[in-house]
Structure formats: structure tokens, C-alpha cells
Amino acid sequence: MVPRTDRAPERRRIYLDCNATTPLRAEVLAAMEPYFSDLYANPSSAHSLGSRARTAVEEARETVAQILGVKRSEIVFTSGGTESNHLALLGAAAALDPGVILSTPIEHSSVLRALDYLADQGWDVRNVELLPDGRVDLEQMERQLEPNVQLVSVGWANNEIGTLQPVAEIFALCETRGILFHTDAVQVPGKLPFHRVPAHLMSLSGHKFGGPKGVGCLVVREGVLIRPLFRGGSQERGLRAGTENVPGIVGFAEALRIAARSAERFVARVCPLRDRLWEHLRQIPGVQRHGAVGENVLANTLMVTVDGVAADALIAALDLEGICVSAGSACAAGAAEPSHVLLALGIPVERAQGSVRFSLSEDVTESEIDFVAECFAKAVRRIRAAEETARQGFTA
């Protein structure tokens, strides 16, 4: 078919879906490029070309370790957040006798499904009590940390509602009791400045902070025993067999370096924009905000629900204006689904079906935020009017 030329040129895209993924930074791509082309060797090869690749992987490991304030030997590169969470939970469980695992019902699906699997394997998986904003109730949790608890997994920053957990306090509670603590920190780098790893096991994913997809890492603090998911070569000290994703690992380290350096600036920039967006949206009747506020939420995240409006209609309407947002959850086909996080926080399913998550990047401007709010209000009005017409047509 002849390409159409009579369509309006695509307008500027406003990307407010940074908790789903972020664009690869140009500097990161530049750092990765040699390892796709000239420096293609296997890091395990003994020749000099292999040595170049090995050096790149180990320098990346050193960069990551320095930023996180841990030792090089505590970094295990993986294929991303899901693998890191599985390696942490299944790997730690394999080295322990089955007992109690404490977690929350608002974790990422890769944590929830890994815990389902462990429950099938005989583990007693329990939920800790959550406050209405999604924060762990520390007092309740302390009571739940009985001697038979072996492992605790609580995500640092929730990807849907942005709520931040008191991970330092949870870590302290676990440490004094000799309980392993894992945190899924995939949403943290670049969006929240931090100076230490508040867990025995911590998962990260490169593409959430300007790095490439398909690479992540698990921090395994010294003395923590886990078993590998994959067996084979001795890569990653035997904890993750398989030829290293050299360009990915190089990109991961470079992206983490930039993210750590710019996190404070990011917060200072996007927090007022996120608040400005909410100031606009709260004027619309039937719009509710979910999750924590102030210091207890990611600076870039705003999760709202709209009474009587289906998320997929809203997302499509915004998309037609060039605005990219998410409902929070989607099925394999791509249809919006009620967010399991909202459902776990007791939000009724009808309301949870109308959820829209804004997760801002630092590139968005004030005028774009105003435009987004305007489009959102218009879309809500149109959807409600269409539903109203349909209802009247039905009874007539």
C-alpha cells in the first residue's frame, strides 16, 4: 500500500508512563554501542578481545557497587526485575527450611506469583496489614514477626500508586530478629535519592531509569545464602549461569550512574508538576486520588480513579491527544484490568476499573501538564455524556 501522506503530522507525544518504562538515554546507548559491534567477545574467553568484554562487565559491576554502597561481590546481574525478584525469593527459599514468608498484597506480579509458587511448595505466605494509603503498618508487622518467619518481602516503591514503604525500619526489625529481608526497589533509582541498601536482597531493573530493557541486578548482601535459578557456567559467582549481556550490563551501570546523580534534581522538578496535575484533576467531580502523599509517595506518580468511567476509554481518549498513560494493570492482550493494588486496598471493583496512573518524566513541562489536565477533563465529560445517551436510549 502507498504510505499515506495526507494525515496530520504526529503531534508531540507527552509520555507520562515512566513507571512502565523510560526511554533509553542517549549517553547510555553510546556507552553500550561498542559492545554490540567491535567488542563482541564472550567475557569468559581467554583472548584479549574476551578480556575487553570481561573488563567492561567488571567495571560496570564496580560502578553499580559504588553507587549502592556495597561490595562488587554483592552484585548479581540478571535479565531484569522479574528475574531478580525470582532469584531473591526462590533462591533464598531454596536455601531455607520452609516456614513463614511475610509480604503485602500490593507487590508487583512477579513477586506475587513467585510467592504463590512458594506457597504451593509448602511455605506459609502471609500478608502484613496495610494502612489505607498502602503503607505497611509497622506496629502490626512487628507483632507478625514471630520466630517462624524466615523471609520478608516488601517493595520499596509501589509501581501503581507510588507509595513508599518504611524499608529502613522494616530492615531494622528483620535484622534484629535474624530474618531475611528482600525489597523490590525497581521503581526507586532516579526517582528517590538513597544512600544505602536497606535490605539483604534488593532487586533493580535497568529500563526503569533510562537503561536498556532485559537487564537488571540483584543485590545479595554478604553472608546471605541463596541458590541459583539457572545452572551452567560459573558466571556471576555461580548465582546466574549464562553468557553475560555485556552491552546491557554496561548500559545498566551507566544509566544507574546518571540516575543516582540526578535523582534529587528529578524530585525537585517533577514533584511540583505532579501536584499541579492533581490540583487540576481534583476539580473534576468523581475523581479520587489513591496511595500515599507528601514524603511517602514517589514524586512522579499520581494514581486516580474516576467514578463511572472505564479506564480503557480514558486511556484511548488521551492517546488520541498524544498522551501516554497506563491503567496500572493490563492483560496479555493489552486491555485495562482493575488494578490489584487498588482492590487490595479495599477500593470497590467498579471504581478500580476507572484507574489511570500518571508517572511523569523530567522532560514534561508545565504547559504540557495543563494540556493533559484539559484533555482529561474533556475525555471524562465526553465519556459520561456518551454513557448517559446510551442509558437514555436504552430506557426509551
Partner 1 sequence: MTRVLVAMSGGVDSSVAAALLVEAGYDVIGVAMRLWNGPSDSGCCSLDDFVDARRVAARLGIPFFVMDFSDLFERHVVRPFAEDYLRGRTPNPCARCNQFVKFDALFSRAQALGADFLATGHYARLVRGPEGEWHLHTARSRDKDQSYFLFGLPRQRLAQILFPVGDRTKQEVRALAREKKLPVAEKPESQEVCFVPRRDYAEFVEKYTGQAGAPGPIVDENGAVLGVHDGIHRFTIGQRRGLRVGGGRPRYVVDLDPNTGTVRVGDRTATLAQGLRAIQVNWLVSRLPEPGEQLTVKIRSRFNPTPVVVESADATTFVVRAPGRLQAVTPGQAAVLYDGDRVVGGGWIDAPI
Query: Which positions are catalytic?
Result: 331
Residue 249 binding partner 1, by CB under 8 A: no
2 vs 26 by CB, closer to partner 1: 2
Q: Distance (Å, rounded) from C-alpha 251 to C-alpha 255? A: 6
Residue 12 binding partner 1, by CB under 8 A: no
Name residues whose C-beta falls within 8 Å of residue 369's C-beta, 6 or more positions apart in sequence. Answer: 273, 276, 277, 280
Residue 167 contacts residue 183 (beta carbons within 8 Å): yes
Q: How big is the site for partner 1, counted in residues (CB under 8 A)?
A: 30
Which of 71-79, 89-97, 163-171, 305-313 is the region at the interface with partner 1 (rule: CB under 8 A)? Answer: 305-313
Q: Distance (Å, rounded) from C-alpha 278 to C-alpha 181? A: 34
Site string for partner 1, 92-131 (x = CB under 8 A): ----------------------------------------
Residue 317 binding partner 1, by CB under 8 A: yes
List binders of partner 1 among 325-344 (CB under 8 A).
331-337
**Least distance (Å) between residue 333 CB and partner 1:** 4
**Least distance (Å) between residue 378 CB and partner 1:** 9
Residue 9 binding partner 1, by CB under 8 A: no
Which of 22-30, 179-187, 286-294, 311-319 is the region at the interface with partner 1 (rule: CB under 8 A)? Answer: 311-319
33 vs 312 by CB, closer to partner 1: 312
User: Which of 49, 95, 168, 320 touches partner 1 by CB under 8 A?
Assistant: 320
- What is 1-61 written as a DSSP string? -PPP-SSPPPPPPEE-BTTT--PPPHHHHHHHGGGTTTT---TT-SSHHHHHHHHHHHHHH
Site string for partner 1, 265-304 (x = CB under 8 A): ----------------------------------------
- Residue indicated by cell numbers 503531534: 11
SS3 letters for 237-284? Answer: HHCCCCCCCHHHHHHHHHHHHHHHHHHHHHHHHHHHHHHHHHHHHCCC
**Least distance (Å) between residue 394 CB and partner 1:** 7
Residue 140 binding partner 1, by CB under 8 A: no
Residue 26 binding partner 1, by CB under 8 A: no
Angle at the Cα of 76 (from 71 to 80), degrees rounded to 5? 135
- Residue indicated by cell numbers 523530567: 362
User: Which of 49, 168, 172, 316 touches partner 1 by CB under 8 A?
Assistant: 316
Closest by Cα among 331, 286, 290, 328 to 309: 286
Distance of alpha carbon 315 from the chain centroid: 20
Site string for partner 1, 366-385 (x = CB under 8 A): -------------x--xx-x
Closest by Cα among 43, 68, 67 to 55: 43
What are 392's three cell numbers?
437514555
Residue 16 contacts residue 325 (beta carbons within 8 Å): yes
Name the amino acid, one letter, at 139.
E
**Least distance (Å) between residue 341 CB and partner 1:** 18
Per CB under 8 A, residues contacting partner 1 are 1, 3-4, 6-7, 310, 312-313, 315-317, 319-320, 331-337, 379, 382-383, 385-387, 389-390, 393-394
